[in-house]
Amino acid sequence: MPAARRSARLTALPTALLAAVVSLAACTTDESAPSVPSPSADEAPGEVSGALPTGAPTAVATGLDAPWSVAFLDGTPLVSERDSARILELADDGTPREIGVVAGVDAAGEGGLLGLTVDDDARLYVYSTASDGNRVQRYEPAGEPGALSLGEPTTLLDGLPSASVHDGGRLGVGPDGMLYAAVGDAGDPGSAQDLGSLGGKILRMTLDGDVPEDNPFEGSLVYSYGHRNVQGLAWTDDGTLFATEFGQNTWDELNEITPGANYGWPEVEGVAEQDGFVDPVQQWEPSRASPSGMTYLDGTLFIANLRGQVLRAVPVSDPSTSTDHYAGEHGRLRDAVPAPGGGLWFVTNNTDGRGSPGPDDDRILAVDVTS
């Protein structure tokens, strides 16, 4: 039987002084930065050919506590709450019900209960922060909608670099049937260029946590490297993988991911046109972005932005262009997913300690999408 558990090597941190300087610099323009209103859609670059949100969003669910990720188990929406470590199911009327609490979650800063995804066998994969690092676990939920239970976890991968910043956390099952995990540099920028570390990487593994034979580096889970803090993964119809990435002081990024490629951090940030590094297909000033969750729908990538407080639409026919929607109207946005009945859901994140929550926050909002 395949191994059910694989530990990741943690690289040594720099000196305490250097670590403090790096941590301080990293926090100035990442999730913790003050919110700055994003430009309106007519100020965004380029023209969009693809799907666009239409009309005013309506609330699907309200009163959530720092929600981070949404996944669908046989059509039932499941929501992770970062700080409470709860996984909730949503009833048809949006009422949340706890199906379980992920044990051993150490929620601090940007860490906690993060990404969720589901495979074709209705098994739930969970990315969370424990006291000894980030980890990926698999659950087999039991019961019927309205009475689901979480069950016991199987740990696929643990000991991933973790910190109060740059924990990555997004999961996805690709069209190839493999499990992908975005791991941040955890405040140690040098780890992103170190192929012996799993920090600052996008990982690709089997659904049991093993290394696929066709991974780009023999015996390694590393699929791409040179990342600072990826929090969005999405595949287009032809299987192309895109990822959103938090920059530091200059550029946040949208990258098209190629197996084995180096995306430059910390040597470069944004478009550098340097040999050996892959440039982003689009970049934004951090005040307009802090791009987190992302989904693909009808020819368009939809990106939820935290600091920029905007839902951004990027047509895959020309991913160097984009249009912004609902700028500043709903506060910080954490995730975007296709709605179960059509259209789009996006998730606010105003109760995470860095936003200004309204009386119904946090919320999941639904909007129609037209081509």
pLDDT of residue 229: 98
Identify whether 41 is part of a domain: no
CA distances for 73 relative to 139, 146, 179, angstroms: 12, 12, 16
Q: Is the dihedral of CA 254, 259, 263, 266 positive or negative?
A: positive
Residue 371 has pLDDT above 80, yes or no: yes
H or E element in which residue 24 lies: helix 16-27
Q: Give domain status of residue 153, yes or no.
A: yes
Residue 182 has pLDDT above 80, yes or no: yes
CATH (domain of 85): 2.120.10.30
Residue 10 has pLDDT above 90, yes or no: no
Q: What is each CA distance from 236 to 50, 103, 119, in whole angstroms?
A: 12, 34, 17
What does the pLDDT average to over 352-358?
Answer: 96
Rounded to whole angstroms, how far apart are CA atoms 312 and 291? 9
Query: Do residues 364 and 346 lie in contact, with contact meaning Cβ atoms separated by under 8 Å?
Result: yes
Separation CA 303–CA 325 (nearest Å)? 10
Q: Is 158 part of a structural domain of the chain?
A: yes
Q: Which helix (H) or strand (E) holds 244?
A: strand 241-245
Sign (positive/negative) of CA torsion 15, 17, 18, 24? positive
Q: What is the pLDDT of residue 101?
A: 98
More confident residue, 25 or 348: 348
Look at residue 292 in the predicted model and tell me its pLDDT: 98
Domain count, the chain: 1
Residue 341 lies inside a defined structural domain of this protein? yes
Quick check: 255 pLDDT over 60?
yes
Flag whether pLDDT at 22 surpasses 80: no
A 10 A CB-CB count for 265 gives 25
Residue 6 lies in a domain: no
| 29 inside domain | no
Q: What integer pLDDT is reported at residue 49 of this predicted model?
A: 67
Of all residues in the chain, what percent carry a pLDDT higher than 90?
86
Mean pLDDT of 110-128: 98
Tokens read off for 110:
């940007």
Mean pLDDT, residues 248-257: 97
Kindly state the tokens that stand for 228: 């600072």
Q: Is residue 24 part of a domain?
A: no
Q: Which residues have C-beta within 8 Å of that of residue 143, sequence separation ≥ 6?
A: 149
Segment (H or E) for 23 = helix 16-27
- Evaluate if residue 42 carries a pLDDT over 80: no
Q: Is residue 18 part of a domain?
A: no
229-238: average pLDDT: 98
Mean pLDDT over the full length of the chain: 90
Domain that holds residue 290: 49-370
Q: What pLDDT does residue 50 have?
A: 86
